[in-house]
Amino acid sequence: MVNTYSLNTDTIYDILTRMAAKTLECPVVILSFLDAGNVSLKSVYGLSAAEIKYSYDNYPESLVLHNFDVKFYAAAPLLSKDGVLMGDFCVLNNQQGFLSNEKEELLRDYAALAMAYREAGLAAEQEIAYQKQLLQIAAHDLKNPLTTIPVRADLIKLKKHDPEVVDRMCDQIKKAGLIMTRTIDELLSSASFDAGKMNLYTFKLDFAAIVSQTVEANEALATHKGQRIDLHIESRPAVIADEQRLIEVIDNLINNAVKYSPKGEVIKVTVTENDHKAVMHVQDHGPGLTAEDKRNMFLPYSKLSAHPTGNEKSTGLGLSIVKKLVEAHHGKVWAESDGIGKGSSFFVEIPSFK
């Protein structure tokens, strides 16, 4: 009868050290990792952990074993993908000896397998943390608008004979709905990219028309803050793109300009064509970008140094999604700013067609 069991990481490490002891014919095998400068024993075959001591000042040479007379020692380093030493996989014997070329190669293979399992485990932990963060964002960013909707609905019932109050409450419900829609769209887009399930359904589109449509959709938000969006269409390039994804890109950048610009400012949106590329330029006169903003702004969960000027919310995912979507269309996106207080410009460039 064959025993079956789940292979967790620690069990796999133990299998590797046991196999190494048998195939390399060494009674003691030690697998250890460097964690925050300290040595962590992940698996030991042939000794108890209490019989092993490392001197942290001179790792890995200063290995001290109690009740075992070391006459032979060989180790393969555990290296990260960028070549950083992460630990070692070592075999020991109380008899004089050596490893043949074939066994040296086997030792390196065991070390590579151990490192691969470690990296896979770290990747899984990061993915779990990422999913938890998504849930926290969803719970936090959806709670407030969800709370306001029933309150506004009750007020409409009480004030149904007052058209001004009803109109105001309806606008606030609409705003809450738009916030929730944007948050959900960003979370779904991010999850789709991470799952490798982002499919583009492309057609030939009028780039300027898509920009114009998206500007119009953001005018109410701008008007609410006393802002104005000036649209300048200098050419009408055609692009092969997924319409909904292209709108998502354009909407994110225009909405960000509205979100981070002071009240009463003018946001300029320009459409041009340059060297067979459709270009959109969104320029604002807001707080500008720091050097750190420009380095990190397209990374997931990156927050700008500036704060929304109308208490708007941000998931920190929007610009990372924009970058992925633009690159999926074989284009590029970038930002320019002369510094704090000097506004910012965002550019999107996508191949155009006749």
pLDDT in tens, 82-109: 788 888 999 999 888 888 999 999 999 9
Question: What percentage of the chain carries pLDDT values higher than 70?
Answer: 80
CATH architecture of 199-354: 2-Layer Sandwich (3.30)
**Most distant pair of Cα atoms in the chain: their distance:** 98
In tens, the pLDDT along 266-300 reads 999 999 999 999 999 999 988 888 888 888 888 87
| Mean pLDDT, the chain, whole residue set | 82
Rounded to an integer, what distance in angstroms lies between the CA atom of residue 219 and that of residue 119?
47
Rounded to an integer, what distance in angstroms lies between the CA atom of residue 344 and that of residue 112?
47
Cα of first residue to Cα of last residue in the chain, in angstroms, is 69
Average pLDDT, integer, range 35-56? 72
Q: Is 90 exceeded by the pLDDT of residue 231? A: yes
Rounded to an integer, what distance in angstroms lies between the CA atom of residue 202 and that of residue 208?
16
Q: Is 60 exceeded by the pLDDT of residue 196? A: no
Looking at residue 319, what is its pLDDT?
Answer: 86
Average pLDDT, integer, range 238-245? 91
Looking at residue 274, what is its pLDDT?
Answer: 92
Rounded to two decimals, the pTM is: 0.54
Looking at residue 199, what is its pLDDT?
Answer: 74
Helix (H, G, I), strand (E, B) or coil at 97: coil
Residue 273: CA atoms inside 13 Å, Cβ hemisphere, count? 14
Average pLDDT, integer, range 258-271? 92
Domain with CATH 3.30.565.10 in the chain: 199-354
Amino acid at 291: A
Average pLDDT, integer, range 16-38? 87
Average pLDDT, integer, range 195-207? 80
Out of 3-17, 149-163, 313-327, 332-346, the most confident range is 332-346
Which H or E run contains 12? helix 9-24
Q: How far is CA 215 from the centre of its chain?
A: 28
Residue 185 has a CB neighbour count (10 Å cut-off) of: 18
Rounded to an integer, what distance in angstroms lies between the CA atom of residue 227 and that of residue 265?
5
Angstrom CA distances, 70 to 26, 27, 158, 258, stand at 11, 11, 86, 70
Least confident of 81-85, 130-134, 199-203, 324-328: 130-134
79 contacts 118 by C-beta, under 8 angstroms: no
Average pLDDT, integer, range 60-75? 74
Looking at residue 113, what is its pLDDT?
Answer: 92
Domain with CATH 3.30.450.40 in the chain: 9-125
CATH topology of domain 9-125: Beta-Lactamase (3.30.450)
Q: Is 70 exceeded by the pLDDT of residue 187? A: no
- The DSSP secondary-structure symbol of 194 reads H
